[in-house]
Amino acid sequence: MAQLRQDGYEVVEQFYEPDALGAALRDFDAVIIRSATKIKEPQIDAAKDSRLKLIIRAGVGVDNIAVKYAEAAGITVRNTPRASSNAVAELAMALLFSCARNISIAGHTMREGKWEKKAYSKGFELAGKTLGVIGYGRIGQLVGAKAQALGMRVLSVVHRNKPEGVESESMRFVSMDELLAQSDVICLCAPAGEKPLVDAQSIEKMRDGVVIINVSRGANVDEGALLEALNAGKVRAAGLDVWLSEKDPNWALAQHPAVSCTPHIGAGTKEAQKRIGAELVDIVEHFGT
């Protein structure tokens, strides 16, 4: 924001309740939001035919914005997809390491004054394992590359445009059923769809003892089904950074001993935030030129 002010822009940093947000947007030419703020049809209706011409999501996903509805009203929607990709990919790998070596629960028990070496010395190595990445966009490709560097075999599914030049002896595209059946670890990097990618039906198709990592959207996981699978031992462990409800997450799932979790901090590095800021400035300054 400091750079925009320095460049002569009037910048207002203000929180608005959802029912007041739409009317407030009429006073601005552009608005920058994070994941918690939603600009949907009611807010866009209230802001129509006003100064507002640009909505920027400071981050990757734009599921908190009614994009097509906004664009039909003459409002451009942009995001910053490149800035935080590496930070999210690194967190995915951190969660995977934690699940593989019981780091979260082992550290928790040590803080309780317990020495549980025997209980948590039954981890597994990542080298030689198969990682299924659902969503092979910017983040998914970075996760895949890091996993291959660790000696893992990577599988993914093509939904839209197939990335060029990424297939190799250690990475190939397969059907969803093949990915579910062959993966030791499944990492979700896809946008939210109409139904969860991980639900009771898809879990049934997975290997016994699978590990599930989600750094995409909370709606991609049926949290109840995942909790049942963890309790049953079908799913060995889960690493979760995103939740269906971030104001009131599924605490039973978050507190499960086989879950390593974080409160949606995927983009939370100083490097990523610096890149996001630079990308926001670039979008604002070049909009309409």
List, by residue number, the catalytic residues: 217, 246, 264
Collapsed DSSP state (helix, strand, coil) of residue 108: helix
Q: What is the DSSP letter of 196?
A: -
What type of residue is 180? L
Q: How are beta strands 235-240 and 210-214 bridged, if at all?
A: parallel
Q: In 26-137, which ranges are continuous DSSP H helix? A: 41-47, 67-72, 85-101, 103-111
**Sequence-separated (6 or more) residues with CB below 8 Å from residue 117:** none
Q: What is the DSSP letter of 219?
A: G
Count of alpha carbons within 13 angstroms of residue 188, beta-carbon side = 26
**Which residue's entry shows tokens 């939210």?**
192
Compute the distance between CA of residue 223 and CA of residue 233 in angstroms, rounded to an integer.
15
Single out the residue of 1, 53, 57 nearest to residue 27, CA to CA. 53
Collapsed DSSP state (helix, strand, coil) of residue 99: helix
User: Which backbone phi and psi does 181 adopt, to 5 degrees?
Assistant: -75, -30
Written as six digits, the tokens of 218 are 């909370």
Q: What DSSP letter does each residue of 154-176 carry, written as one string?
A: EEE--SSSPPTT--BTTEEE--H
